[in-house]
Amino acid sequence: MRMSRRAIGGAACAALLAWPAAPAAADPEPAAAGKTKAYMQLNIAGNSMHKGGLAPAKEVVSLVKAEQPYVVTLNEVCATQFDYIKKNLSGSGYRAWHGHTGVSCKNGSAFGNVVLIRIASSVVGNWALPNPVEKEHRRLLCVKATNYAMVACSTHISWGAGDQVAQIRAVADRLATFRAKGYRVIIGGDFNVTPTSAALDPMYDTCYPSGAGVLFETAGTRCAARSGDATVGATRKIDYIFFSEEYQGLKGEAVPTGVSDHKVLWGTATY
């Protein structure tokens, strides 16, 4: 699937969601083989820029309908925006999941991360991430495909350096657990650190420079370098889509959007 270069125009309590603690212990069925598909990651700045207003939700719906990515991961989504996205994409085959972080938007609605996926699925966890310094609520939302051995996750790491190392390590450890149980993994998110940061070492496979993890980023430099298009401003890449090793032909492209201070990160992968 070819990515379009079209730009799109211009956080209630975590207890609201009661998730099972972990995926089923039984071995998963082998994941179904597929074709090259598109994937999308965007921090929509739903509270900071829009106070829960629907403008970014409408743009997400428009873009998803046009490009039909297989998995979409979103950050900073207010419940009002999520409800709009869910309602308007259900007819296109998307299941939508909102993981509340424990923060409220300025309009009073719940705030958090989102996973959209075009197959039957269910939430397996919305885990709190450690926050020893800033005390800001951060979480990892993971959704399991019903019929395939696949997990898709969304997260938003703290902007504070004192929490980033512990949070990213917690995310990497959780994903490694899924991998050990035979699941292929996709995760998108705003990690708030650049590719060469030591804090990201646990995410990158050991084939990358200083990599200590098991995942591959959606950039054409697979293993050769930790890089990718800038997703904030002209030079900063802080948004990522990581895949497990089964996915090949990884490519990435960041496209400006008028609804957020982040760019849309598009990825393509073949399984």
Of 4 and 55, which is predicted with more confidence?
55
Residue 127 lies in a domain: yes
* 3 closest CA partner among 29, 51, 40, 56: 40
Of 71 and 8, which is predicted with more confidence?
71
Q: Tokens 């999308």 correspond to what residue?
A: 40
Instruction: Give the CA angle between residues 203, 226, 165 to the nearest 5°.
Output: 40
Burial of 106 (0-12, 13-18, 19+ CB in 10 A): middle
pLDDT at 80 over 50: yes
What tokens does 2 get? 């070819």
Residue 247 lies in a domain: yes
Residue 11 lies in a domain: no
Residue 84 lies in a domain: yes
Of 169 and 24, which is predicted with more confidence?
169
Domain count, the chain: 1
Indicate the SS3 state at residue 213.
strand
User: Tens digit of pLDDT for each residue in 22-67?
Assistant: 444 344 555 555 699 999 999 999 999 999 999 999 999 999 999 9
Cα dihedral across residues 195, 199, 204, 209: positive or negative: positive
Query: What CATH number is given to the structural domain containing 136?
Result: 3.60.10.10
User: Tens digit of pLDDT for each residue in 240-264?
Assistant: 999 999 999 999 999 999 999 999 9
Is 64:70 a contact under the CB 8 Å cutoff?
no
Of 1 and 240, which is predicted with more confidence?
240
| CA-based max dimension of the chain | 46
Residue 130 lies in a domain: yes
Of 217 and 22, which is predicted with more confidence?
217
pLDDT at 11 over 70: no
Give the span between the Cα atoms of 44 and 57, in whole angstroms: 8
Give the span between the Cα atoms of 10 and 157, in whole angstroms: 25
Instruction: Give the CA angle between residues 189, 259, 145 to the nearest 5°.
Output: 35
Residue 142 lies in a domain: yes
What tokens does 41 get? 């990651």
12-16, 111-115, 181-185: segment of lowest average pLDDT? 12-16
* Phi and psi, residue 94, nearest 5°: -90, 135
Crossing angle of helices 79-89 and 55-67, rounded to 10°: 30
* 76 closest CA partner among 107, 100, 54: 100
Q: According to DSSP H, which parts of the chain are helical?
A: 55-67, 79-89, 161-180
Parent domain of 104: 35-270
Q: Which residues pair with 126 in a beta bridge?
A: 141
**Which runs of E-coded beta strand occur in the chain?**
36-43, 71-78, 95-104, 110-117, 121-128, 139-145, 150-156, 184-190, 216-217, 239-243, 248-255, 264-270
pLDDT at position 15, please?
Answer: 32
Give the span between the Cα atoms of 204 and 215, in whole angstroms: 5
pLDDT at position 32, please?
Answer: 52
Residue 10 lies in a domain: no
pLDDT at position 168, please?
Answer: 99
Q: Flag whether the pTM goes above 0.95.
A: no
Task: For strands 264-270 and 36-43, give the pairing.
Answer: antiparallel
Residue 218 lies in a domain: yes
